[in-house]
Chains A and B, each alone.
Chain A
């Protein structure tokens, strides 16, 4: 019974496909490219609450675009605005150049996969997939063809006579996907498409979704609260908070170059060191850190001397040394307080002299028994000028 559940596509089974890898041309960097979805200063109010607060966003044809944020950040509302299930309080929405702001959902060239899947319980898998085609009054033969195509595509042909309550969670997800794809929409909206699946299934399905999207060339907009999921699948990610978009960028850029403290902290773990710029040395700035030393960091934007800044460094970008190196900057002394062994990596928490905790990740190259570090050991934490970003609050 379960044989059908997990079968990721075999043909390009690669690890995290880097977006730039897949799409040599990044349309969002091409000033001449026309966005497929244009959201212009859209606000959606529920009573006093601003669910979506003055959001502008361009999404391009063929993108796998993710709206990422914690619950209540307005990402789902934004998706529903695109589907036409909500109407904006102000602002306009264009799809393929057409103003669809006031177009009801049943007239939009958009389909949605619901978080709960919203399969019609009184219809078989086949009938569910055929439902949208019937609304378009497609001839019977064409409908049957299209249903067959979808059943094939998602490899659920054997389930076609079943009803939703006779399916497992993973099977339902496939049916919901098939149903929303059956009408060949140019834009597919996915509300937490993997949210109801268990962890193992979710990871496999991630790749499958990406492959599917690539193969069909449809623009995907997904909503997710799972940053790992967003990183894995997306061409670009919009990080949202309190109805606003904090940063829109590729997963790499979001991770490596967060534009602010919120994004830096939201995505992955990060060590934040506060300080003040005291000197500018070409591309680098010299920062007097609150923990008492000096930091020399590469800064992408010019900041005047005296600017209070935060240096964000990912745990895996830190080095651990028994003795300090010579240059005297970008280093901290402390003792190992915690070691968390995760198998492939270990996470260390270092208590520094100033009292702050620094988190770092080390790949376990040696077998565990041979590892030198133990608790209460005195160590030095170091990093290079290019291993972090300088943020102004």
Chain B
């Protein structure tokens, strides 16, 4: 009994030390919440080597999931990667990010001023958001199957593949898929109609809805990631998708070597340019570590490696020369300036409009 009593304080002490250790350790960590396949293989290990901070990575596959966690509060994440429009913009309004200490981020001045300016519209003074990667939303196409259905000289870089009922009905057999995202689909439909893709006018939205409704019978499914494998194995021939994902499908098809070809095209009518940004939630446990990670990712050689790996362009101008020539010259990744001129960034819609759009979307999908 006596021995036990003596032991107790020692046990408490060791528990206390253990707890201290955990706290000390916690300060050396950074909790990251990012898209899947959005770092190069050695990005995070390189960060740990350089700073000694241990990165802990969790993955998500939709902005909505990220948003739900952030809005619920106390997510425990130090650094997140939302899409700038409309998500990060909304989050800034909700006030869930903390301002960055720009003095600790020397790489900021190398970033593409056009992109920074576009971000400044939703994040005045670029106080909270740092662009990470950007891409476009266009068409993943199986050229052989599409040409077989539409003829040898059918153009591939047009939304008409989806929205022209005549073409779509011919392609329905080999499979058309759309992103399950009303913002993207309405923007594409408005672009095809030659209207302002950010139009808020009810008659424009009405026209877009009619267009989607007419195309609906030819759409096989609405999904935001399924098309990657379906394109790669030839199960679909036209996919509305993100540039990097389509290019990933292209690489997978190449590896599988079963005669499936995939190309990525930015439609001539115009397409969405989106930017994913880095931001630190207000309730982040380790904001300092998160800052360190942002600084690390601003390193041109680091971000060039990421682009090489994930097939998305980065906004870091100092990194561009470091990227593999094959990627740099790919018009799907770094579009030439005349194509870039046709790209647009979706504006933020009001909450009420968003809900209206989403419910409209549910109806359209279910043919009601």
Direct A–B touching, Cβ under 8 Å:
no
Q: Chain A: residues with CB nearer than 8 A to chain B?
A: none
Q: Chain B: residues with CB nearer than 8 A to chain A?
A: none
